[in-house]
Structure 1
Amino acid sequence: MIRLKVLGPFRVEVDGREVDPGGRLARMVLVQLPIARGTVVPTERIVERLWPTRIPSSAQASLHAYIARLRRTLEPGRAPPTPARLLVSAPYGYALAVEQDAVDSWAFEGGVAACSGA
């Protein structure tokens, strides 16, 4: 099971163990996905946020490398030809397909809504 901690310092846990999602840019890719709450984040938006002042010619290749590494980190037992279940591809971007309680901010919002009757 995956858990993303975005309230406070950003942390990633897989099966109850903290894992390293990679360097600063890999973390920046991953942190964009829970903000979108399961919807697709367009590739262009991810690239623009990674390189806001000047997009390098290697941006797409670098993004694909970050995604591949993140998938290996989030699903360590997945065989390479098997489609990813958590960090999924869409025709124009990527999305995070996890349960409500997998992201601490989502769980917090759900708890607040439940308490307020919303």
Structure 2
Amino acid sequence: MTWERVAFGVLGPVVAEGDGGALALKGPRHRAVLARLIVARRRVVPVSRLVGDLWDEPPAGAVGAVQTFVGALRRALEPDRPPRARSRLLVTEGPGYALRAAPDAVDAWRFETAVATAADLPPAAALPRLGEALELWRGPAYAGFERAGWARGERSRLAELRLRAVEQRAETL
């Protein structure tokens, strides 16, 4: 499996999938790091911000724990990467990490693109596009991170966009 074939789902529980199906993401903090990096949309998230986002009261070894989570995520996302080779998907940059997922690798990003495209199409062409976009939803966006402050705005934004897509589909029908 190559890193380009990893797909991420956040329109429901946070998941990552490769050619062979679901990738093992280990525990909830691993998923939280991945979700937080997806929310950042390919931008660097400083380690200090990750620590603050993961813990209300960070433990003494919080920075080391984040590094451990990132290492485990890299192994899960790029299992064929040779030891000590640079990660091409979950990268270290400056003071933090970024997930360099392809624009179509995240279901939420595909959803947004499809809804935006459908808005400019004639009804006959918009309807299937909206249907495909709405089928990407498996539950509430970033399910499992309802109380996370870093996810709140993105969850609300996506829920509102979904509602608009449902309304647009109904009007088109």
- Using structure 1 for the length normalisation, give the TM-score: 0.93
Report what 2:50 is aligned to: 46
Which of the two has greater helix per residue? 2
Distance 2:96 2:108 in 1: 22
Matched, 1:36 2:36: no
Matched, 1:59 2:59: no
Distance 2:30 2:98 in 1: 15
Report what 1:88 is aligned to: 91
Report what 1:70 is aligned to: 73
Matched, 1:26 2:49: no
Q: Which has the higher contact order (CA 8 A, sep 6+)?
A: 1
Deviant stretches of 4+, over 2 Å = none
Per-residue CA deviations over 1:66-88 (Å, capped at 9, x if unaligned) read 00000000000001211000001
Q: CA deviation at 1:116?
A: 2.0
Q: CA deviation at 1:49?
A: 1.1
Unaligned runs of 5+ in 1: none
Distance 2:74 2:6 in 1: 12
Give the alignment's Cα RMSD to 1 decimal: 1.0
The amino acid of 1:109's aligned partner reads E
Unaligned runs of 5+ in 2: 121-173
Distance 1:16 1:98 in 2: 18
Distance 1:33 1:15 in 2: 22
CA contact (8 A) 2:48 2:63 kept: no
Matched, 1:14 2:18: yes
Per-residue CA deviations over 1:77-114 (Å, capped at 9, x if unaligned) read 00121100000111111111111111000011111121
Q: CA deviation at 1:16?
A: 4.5
Figure out how many residues of one structure are paired with residues of the other and give that number.
116
Distance 1:98 1:90 in 2: 15
Note closer, same or farther for the CA distance 1:26–1:85 as it changes in structure 2 (3 Å cut): same
- Using structure 2 for the length normalisation, give the TM-score: 0.65
Query: 5 Å matches for 1:97-108?
Result: 97-108=100-111
The amino acid of 1:92's aligned partner reads P
